[in-house]
C-alpha cells in the first residue's frame, strides 16, 4: 500500500503554516517544527494585565490572498476571523505641524490633498496609475512564479506591457518626478520601509506598494492579527498535520542529493520527502550542511525598536495608525544604513509609527485603557543593544511622540515591554534582527532574493519573507503558493 508523501516544515511562521496547509489539503503527511512556544513567527501575540498586543504585522493588505487560502481548505475566512477595513488608513504628523489623513474614498482624499498639498492631486493620480501598472506586472510575473522557472504565456504577455517611462528608475527620484511638496514626497518615501529598505536605494517598481495599500485597502483583524495564525493552526490540526513546539531543527539529512529527513536538537528524526525552510535564508546552508549552499550576500534589511505599551487612560484623539515623521528623512536613513559618512546607528531623530488597535477594537485593552504598539526603524548592524542603548532609543522615540502631540507620562504606563534588534535576532534567528532578510536595494536586492526551490538538492525549498518574492503578509502567502506549485511539479515521492 502506497503511503502519503511526507513534508517537514521548519518554522511555523505565516509562510510555513500556509505551505503546510496547502500540502495537507493535497494529502501530504505534514510535520511543522517550531523552536518557539507558539506558532506564528514574527506574526505573534503578547498579553499582559488585560492588554493584548500583536508583536509583528499590524495590518493586512490583499485580503483576497488570505481568503483564497481558506477556500483551498474548504472553508470561508469570514467563518474564522472578522476583517475590518480601515478608512482612513493612517494619520501622518510632521514636525512643521502639518497633519495629514490618508485613505478613504477618492473624493474625501482629494479634499485632504487640496487642504494639505494644493496642486498635487493630478501628480498623485499619475503616480498611482504607474504604481497600478507595476503592481499588475508584478502580480502576473514576480508574484506568480519562482525565479528561474520557464515563463508562462501569461507572463510573456505581461512583459510586453512593461511601463518603461519612470518604471525602472530609482524610487525616490521617480516620486520627485510626480510630486513637489516635500512633506508629500516624505510620505511616499515611507513605503519602502514596509520591506525594510531605504527609499533612496530601492527601484521605482516598489511604487506598487502604495498602490496596493490604497487600492486593496488596509485591514484589521478583530481581536488582533494573531487570530489568523490561530485559525490556520486549527485548520492544520483538523487536516492531521502535527505541530511540534519547542522543537528546533538541527540538520537536514541529504542522500544522493535528495532530502531524506530532518533531525531535531532533541535527537528525534522526522523522515521527509520534502523539507521546506521557513526562516531567515542565511541559516539554510547551516542546516543543509553537506549541500554546499551559498549564503545570501545582500545588504541586510532594517530591524526595529518596538515598545509595547499598555496605558491606564484613553487617547480619544489617537487614530488606529499614526506616523510621526522625523525632521530630516535623508539623514535618518543615512544613519540607519551607515551611508554618506554616517555610522550605522539608531536615528538621532527617528520616525515613529504608533498602532493603537484598541481605538477601534476595544477588546484589546481594559475598558479605561489603551494598547499601543510603538515602532521605529533600527539598523540591523553596527549597534550594540545593551540596556543603555535601549534607554537611549526609548527616550528618542518618546521625544518624537511628544513633539508630535502624544505625550506619555510614566504614570500613564501600566505595561511596558521593549523589543530591540537583539531580541528579534534571538527570538527569530534573524542575523542582526533584520526583519526581511536582505534589503530590496538595487535590482539585485529587489528581484534576486533566495529562490524558493533549491536546485542543488531535490526536495529542498524556501518560503517566507527572506526568500522570493519578499516580505509582507500577502507576499509571504504568495511565496507559499509558489512553493506548493513547485512541489507539485517537481516532487514524485
For the chain, what are the domain ranges? 6-43+226-298+443-490, 110-215, 302-432
Lowest mean pLDDT among 57-61, 121-125, 257-261, 440-444: 440-444
Report pLDDT for 290.
Answer: 78
Q: How far is CA 478 from CA 62, 344, 471, 482, in A?
A: 11, 33, 10, 6
Q: How confident is the model at residue 212 (pLDDT cuts 50, 70, 90)?
A: very high
Report pLDDT for 158.
Answer: 43
Count of positions (residues) in the chain? 493
The answer on pLDDT for 493 being more than 70 is no
- Of 468 and 477, more confident: 477
Distance CA 349, CA 34 (A): 37
Residues 6+ apart with CB under 8 A from 193: 199, 302, 377
Q: What percent of the chain has pLDDT over 70?
A: 94
Q: How far is CA 44 from CA 49, 77, 324, 431, 491, in A?
A: 17, 19, 24, 19, 32
Report pLDDT for 147.
Answer: 67
The answer on pLDDT for 163 being more than 70 is no
Number of CB atoms found within 10 A of residue 92's CB = 25
Of 349, 320, 344, 315, the C-alpha closest to 332 is 349
Report pLDDT for 485.
Answer: 94
Contact predicate 314/370, CB 8 Å: yes
Distance CA 395, CA 400 (A): 9
Residues 6+ apart with CB under 8 A from 468: 146, 147, 449, 450, 451, 452, 462, 479, 482
Span 233-252, average pLDDT: 97
Inter-axis angle of helices 121-140 and 171-178, nearest 10? 140
Of 461, 424, 34, 423, the C-alpha closest to 265 is 34
Lowest mean pLDDT among 278-282, 295-299, 436-440: 295-299
Strand partners, 44: none
The number of angstroms, rounded, from the C-alpha of 207 to the middle of its chain's C-alpha atoms is: 16
Kindly state the cell numbers that stand for 450: 533566495
Report pLDDT for 295.
Answer: 77
Give, as one character, the DSSP assignment of residue 361: -
Span 439-466, average pLDDT: 89
Report pLDDT for 162.
Answer: 55
The answer on pLDDT for 165 being more than 70 is no
- Cis before residue 88, ω within 30 degrees of 0? yes
Mean pLDDT for the chain?
A: 92
Lowest mean pLDDT among 83-97, 283-297, 368-382: 283-297
Lowest mean pLDDT among 36-50, 138-152, 242-256: 138-152
Kindly give the pairing relationship between strand 29-34 and strand 83-85: unpaired
Strand partners, 275: 8, 460
Q: How far is CA 329 from CA 183, 190, 350, in A?
A: 10, 9, 9
Residues 6+ apart with CB under 8 A from 312: 368, 369, 411, 412, 413, 414
Span 382-400, average pLDDT: 96
Distance CA 97, CA 80 (A): 42
Dump pLDDT digits (tens) for 90-147.
999 999 999 999 998 999 999 999 999 999 999 999 999 999 999 888 887 767 676 6
Kindly state the cell numbers that stand for 289: 550542511
Kindly give the pairing relationship between strand 460-462 and strand 99-102: unpaired
Report pLDDT for 319.
Answer: 96
> Under DSSP, is residue 53 helix (H, G, I), strand (E, B) or coil?
strand
**Helices and strands (H and E) in the chain: how many:** 16, 19
Strand partners, 377: 304
> Under DSSP, is residue 421 helix (H, G, I), strand (E, B) or coil?
helix
Of 447, 473, 443, the C-alpha closest to 213 is 473
Report pLDDT for 156.
Answer: 44
Dump pLDDT digits (tens) for 67-86.
999 999 999 999 999 999 99
- Counting beta carbons within 10 angstroms of the beta carbon of residue 165, is it exposed (0 to 12), middle (13 to 18) or buried (19 or more)? exposed
The answer on pLDDT for 151 being more than 60 is no
Distance CA 4, CA 2 (A): 7
Report pLDDT for 166.
Answer: 57
Report pLDDT for 37.
Answer: 95
Task: Classify 6-43+226-298+443-490 by CATH class.
Answer: alpha beta
Of 63, 136, 50, the C-alpha closest to 364 is 50
The answer on pLDDT for 195 being more than 70 is yes
Q: How confident is the model at residue 490 (pLDDT cuts 50, 70, 90)?
A: confident
Amino acid at each position: 500500500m502506497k503511503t502519503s508523501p511526507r513534508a517537514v516544515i521548519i518554522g511555523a511562521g505565516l509562510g510555513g503554516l500556509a505551505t503546510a496547509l496547502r500540502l495537507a489539503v493535497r494529502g501530504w503527511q505534514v510535520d511543522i517544527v517550531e523552536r518557539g512556544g507558539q506558532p506564528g513567527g514574527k506574526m505573534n501575540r503578547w498579553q499582559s494585565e488585560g492588554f493584548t498586543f500583536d508583536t509583528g504585522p499590524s495590518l493586512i493588505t490583499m485580503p483576497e490572498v488570505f481568503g483564497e487560502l481558506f477556500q483551498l481548505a474548504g472553508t470561508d475566512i469570514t467563518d474564522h476571523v472578522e476583517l475590518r477595513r480601515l478608512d482612513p488608513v493612517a494619520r501622518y504628523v510632521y514636525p512643521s505641524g502639518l497633519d495629514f489623513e490618508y485613505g478613504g474614498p477618492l473624493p474625501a482624499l482629494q479634499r485632504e490633498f487640496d487642504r494639505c498639498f494644493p496642486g498635487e492631486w493630478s501628480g498623485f493620480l499619475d503616480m498611482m496609475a504607474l504604481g497600478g501598472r507595476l503592481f499588475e506586472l508584478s502580480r502576473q510575473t514576480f508574484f506568480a512564479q519562482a525565479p528561474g522557472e520557464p515563463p508562462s504565456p501569461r507572463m510573456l504577455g505581461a512583459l510586453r506591457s512593461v511601463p518603461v517611462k519612470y518604471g525602472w528608475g530609482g524610487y525616490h527620484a521617480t516620486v520627485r518626478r510626480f510630486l513637489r511638496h516635500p512633506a508629500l514626497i516624505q510620505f511616499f518615501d515611507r513605503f519602502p520601509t514596509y520591506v525594510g529598505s531605504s527609499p533612496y536605494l530601492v527601484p521605482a517598481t516598489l511604487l506598487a506598494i502604495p498602490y496596493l495599500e490604497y487600492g486593496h485597502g488596509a485591514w484589521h483583524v478583530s481581536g488582533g492579527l494573531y487570530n489568523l495564525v490561530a485559525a490556520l493552526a486549527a485548520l492544520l490540526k483538523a487536516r492531521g498535520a502535527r505541530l511540534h513546539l519547542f522543537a528546533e531543527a538541527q540538520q537536514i539529512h541529504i542522500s544522493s542529493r535528495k532530502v531524506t529527513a530532518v533531525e531535531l536538537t532533541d535527537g528525534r528524526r522526522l523522515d521527509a520527502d520534502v523539507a521546506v525552510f521557513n526562516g531567515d535564508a542565511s541559516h539554510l546552508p547551516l542546516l543543509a550542511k553537506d549541500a554546499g549552499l551559498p549564503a545570501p550576500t545582500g545588504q541586510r534589511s532594517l530591524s526595529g525598536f518596538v515598545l509595547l505599551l499598555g496605558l491606564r487612560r484613553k487617547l480619544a484623539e489617537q487614530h488606529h495608525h499614526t506616523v510621526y515623521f522625523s525632521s530630516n528623512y535623508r539623514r535618518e536613513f543615512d544613519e540607519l544604513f551607515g551611508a554618506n559618512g554616517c555610522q550605522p546607528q539608531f536615528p538621532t531623530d527617528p520616525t515613529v509609527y504608533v498602532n493603537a488597535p484598541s481605538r477601534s477594537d476595544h477588546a484589546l485593552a481594559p475598558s479605561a485603557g489603551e494598547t499601543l504598539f510603538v515602532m521605529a526603524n533600527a539598523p540591523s548592524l553596527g549597534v550594540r543593544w545593551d540596556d543603555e542603548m535601549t534607554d537611549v532609543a526609548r527616550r528618542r522615540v518618546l521625544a518624537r511622540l511628544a513633539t508630535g502631540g502624544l505625550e506619555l507620562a510614566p504614570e500613564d504606563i501600566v505595561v511596558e515591554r521593549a523589543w530591540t534588534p537583539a531580541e528579534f535576532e534571538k527570538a527569530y534567528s534573524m542575523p542582526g534582527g533584520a526583519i526581511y532578510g536582505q534589503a530590496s536595494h538595487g535590482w539585485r536586492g529587489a528581484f534576486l532574493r533566495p529562490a524558493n526551490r533549491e536546485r542543488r538538492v531535490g526536495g529542498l525549498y524556501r518560503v517566507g519573507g527572506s526568500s522570493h518574492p519578499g516580505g509582507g503578509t500577502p507576499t509571504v502567502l504568495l511565496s507559499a503558493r509558489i512553493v506548493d506549485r513547485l512541489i507539485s511539479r517537481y516532487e514524485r515521492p
